[in-house]
Amino acid sequence: KIPVIIDCDPGHDDAVMIMLAFGSGLFDVKAITTSAGNQTQSKTLKNALKIVTLIGAKVDVYKGCEKPLFRNLIIADHVHGEMGMDGPILPEPNKISEKLSAVEAIAKILEESEEKITIVPTGPLTNIATFLLAYPHLKHKIERISLMGGGIFRGNITPKAEFNIYVDPEAASIVFNSGVPITMCGLDVTHKALVFQEDIELFRNIGNQSGKVVAELMDFFSIFYRQELPELEGGAALHDPCSIACLIAPSIFKSKPCYVDVELQGKLTTGTTVVDFYNVLKKEPNAEVVYDIDREQYIQLLYDAIKVLP
Ligand code: BDR
Ligand code: CA
């Protein structure tokens, strides 16, 4: 099994990402840490605990940073609603978060681990950057950071910037410049990772609780995409599970090693990932940038994982 730490801000698509990680049976999830992003820290933490309770996952959940390194928090309630994961009615969590902070937990787990660990962030990168700043001597224990964020050719919170990077661009810059191997699933791939109404019905018809919750999450999540992005023809961009799916089935994705940095002081482009896709700068690539996906195989992967959950 691949040892991973999941750092997320559930978040409809974060929730499905967690379900894919556990349902696939391929990961040893050492911890879930929560970031402030789609909603405030207290709400994303509660949502993570609810999903863990729903699927009966045996994993500790740790509370992360309350706000970005230098900026005020921006939330995505226009996509994810008042509670950050609106739609399904979920059971109250049967556990609370651990005493250690997310950053302390990441350090402890890496320190004690004999094998390198992959980190999978699907929210703003505040916790991961804080960890890298506070514990630079543990960096070598990270196998890879497989993240959802950024984009080569597009943005979603501004014309150029993607939400997770835009919320804490300084944190993203620290991560991209850390020297740790990075896989970046940005909007170029995630806007092809579409879920349509017929896929939602497939999940609903599995007949288990998790399938029902995924369908109800997607019912809510799709409203934004149908209203705001009609060019996706009714599809909703299921971003975050890509960062786990590309560890499970790299062959269903297309990617390219590129040099990536983050714009921190643009007049129009703050928080943009500047991806040297055509290798203009001739710099050493620091990220494997994912840009395409076999959508049907992605849905199949999700289906197979959700089917085996409670
Ligand atoms: C990202 O932003 C969040 O709203 C989603 O959960 C995803 O991680 C997409 O830009
Ligand atoms: Ca997210």
**Residue 25 — very low, low, confident or very high, per pLDDT cuts 50/70/90?**
very high
| Mean of the per-residue pLDDT values of the chain | 98
pLDDT in tens, 29-49: 999 999 999 999 999 999 999
Question: Residue 42's pLDDT is what?
Answer: 98
Name which of 47, 51, 27, 49 is nearest 37 in CA terms. 47
Q: Any idea what DSSP says for residue 181?
A: -
Question: Residue 212's pLDDT is what?
Answer: 98
Which of 40, 44, 51, 122 to mutate to test ligand 1, by most ligand atoms within 8 A of the CB atom?
A: 122
pLDDT in tens, 114-138: 999 999 999 999 999 999 999 999 9
**CA-based end-to-end distance of the chain:** 21
Question: Could you tell me which residues are beta bridge partners of residue 121?
Answer: 7
Question: Residue 288's pLDDT is what?
Answer: 98
Question: Residue 196's pLDDT is what?
Answer: 98
Q: Check if 11 has its Cβ closer than 6 Å to any atom of ligand 1.
A: yes
- Residue 208 tokens read as 């288990």
Three-state secondary structure string covering 223-280: HHHHHHCHHHCCCEECCCHHHHHHHHCHHHEEEEEECEEECCCCCCCCCCEEECCCCC
Distance (Å, rounded) from C-alpha 82 to C-alpha 9? 14
Catalytic residue IDs: 239
How high is the ipTM of this complex? 0.99
What average pLDDT does this structure show over 61-89?
98
CA–centroid distance, residue 281 to ligand 2 (Å): 30
Q: Check if 161 has its Cβ closer than 6 Å to any atom of ligand 1.
A: no
Question: Residue 108's pLDDT is what?
Answer: 98
From its phi and psi, is residue 263 left (phi > 0), alpha (psi between -120 and 50) or beta? beta
Question: Residue 40's pLDDT is what?
Answer: 98
Identify the helix (H) or strand (E) that includes residue 133: helix 126-134
CA–centroid distance, residue 163 to ligand 1 (Å): 6
Which residues neighbour ligand 2 (ion) by CB within 5 Å? 9, 11, 14, 122-123, 240
What average pLDDT does this structure show over 81-110?
97
pLDDT in tens, 161-182: 999 999 999 999 999 999 999 9
What average pLDDT does this structure show over 277-305?
98
Question: Residue 193's pLDDT is what?
Answer: 98
**E strand segments, the chain:** 2-8, 27-34, 61-63, 117-121, 142-148, 182-185, 194-195, 236-237, 253-258, 260-262, 273-275, 287-293
Global pTM?
Answer: 0.98
**Residue 228 — very low, low, confident or very high, per pLDDT cuts 50/70/90?**
very high
Q: Which ligand 1 atom lies nearest to the CA of residue 162?
A: 10
**Residue 205 — very low, low, confident or very high, per pLDDT cuts 50/70/90?**
very high
- Residue 270 tokens read as 């703050």
Q: Check if 240 has its Cβ closer than 6 Å to any atom of ligand 1.
A: yes
Q: Check if 148 has its Cβ closer than 6 Å to any atom of ligand 1.
A: yes
Is there a contact between 181 and 141 (Cβ–Cβ < 8 Å)?
no
Question: Residue 244's pLDDT is what?
Answer: 98
